[in-house]
Amino acid sequence: MKAYITPNAPISEQQMVRMGWLGLAALIWILFKPAIMPNPLDIILSIPNLWNDGGLRDALITSFVTNVQAIVVSAAISLPLAWLSRVPIIRPLAEGIAKLRFLSPAIFFIILLFMLGSPHAVKIAMLVLGESFFLMTSMVNVVQGIPASSFDEATVLRMSPWQSTWYVVVRGTLHQALEAIRDNTAMGWSMLMMVEGFLRSEGGIGVLMLNQERYMKFDNVYGIALSVLVVGIGQDLGLRWLRGALCPHTKL
């Protein structure tokens, strides 16, 4: 962004195209939006009021912490099972969990409510279920797609089957696991709206957005959505940096 406001700064063709698309999107929004919808300036101006007096700051913190907790738990469950999916006794379990991605976590709400009791635990569990199903799917496909030649090379180096699993499967696919976690973290933000709508006691972005939508304050609704987008992009960049730090040999 600094390059766009610096005199004589070089601007790449890709940056010009990006700014052109953003300008076109803003123009279409202004010209063709329904009368009830706010304009971009109203949306931007709503954020400071929401931040200071509307509870946006606390809601973002609550939702961010919840999302991080869910992705950590889902990764702790899904990655070991996916990495061990080449073990014959584990593979049916891993593939069975992956098939559950066609089910919405909402159908488990009542069961989890009776099993766990705590609203926070239920909220985390619903997010973990949804994220685990998709993370398992991604990583099982990655692990099953490892070429046989990689294991042949490990055998030539006189590695045992478990040593080859560690070096070829776990360490060899760590960068892909981190990439899958990035995708699931983004999906977690979208699921969070639904989950917080079920369990309102702790607040969060979902509750705040539903409250604003009830009173048809669409400038606030889209201001909240824009705030979530900014936080989500920042979190995604952090995970991208983590992948680069842990797996510098891979392209970002």
Each domain of the chain, given as residue ranges in start order, spans 44-246
Q: Which region among 10-24, 124-138, 196-210 has the lowest average model confidence (pLDDT)? A: 10-24
Res 106: pLDDT: 78
- Band (191; pLDDT cuts 50, 70, 90): confident
Residue 130 φ/ψ, nearest 5 degrees: -60, -45
- CA dist 120 to 112, 208, 244, Å? 11, 17, 33
**79 confidence band (pLDDT: 50, 70, 90):** very high
User: Is-contact 106 194, C-beta < 8 A?
Assistant: yes
Distance CA 236, CA 131 (A): 16
pLDDT value at 243 more than 80: yes
What is the pTM assigned to this prediction?
A: 0.81
Model confidence at 1, pLDDT cuts 50, 70, 90, reads low
Per-residue model confidence as pLDDT tens digits over 44-71: 888 888 888 878 899 899 999 999 999 9
Say if domain 44-246 classifies as CATH 3.30.70.141.
Answer: no
Q: Between 119-144 and 174-198, two packed helices, what is the crossing angle to 10 degrees?
A: 150
Mean pLDDT of 223-247: 89
When pLDDT is averaged across residues 78-98 and rounded to a whole number, the result is 91
Whether residue 35 has pLDDT greater than 70: no
Indicate the pLDDT class of residue 166, thresholds 50, 70 and 90.
Answer: very high
The answer, yes or no, to whether residue 205 has pLDDT greater than 90, is: no
Which pLDDT score, from 0 to 100, does residue 75 have? 94
